[in-house]
Structure 1
Amino acid sequence: MEPTQIQSDLKRFPERNKEAQVALVLGIVGVFSSFVFALAGIICGLIGLIMGLRGRKSEKGNLAVVGIVLSGLAMGFSFLHALLKAVLMTAFQH
Structure 2
Amino acid sequence: MLHPDADEWRMVKKKELDMLKSMGVYVEEMLPPGHKAIGCCWVHEFKVPFVDYDSTFAPVAKAVSIRFVAIYSALLGWDLECFDATHAFLWGDLA
Fold equivalence (TM over 0.5):
no
- Over alpha carbons, which structure has the higher Rg? 1
Higher helix fraction (1 or 2): 1
Pairwise TM-score range, normalised by the shorter structure: under 0.3
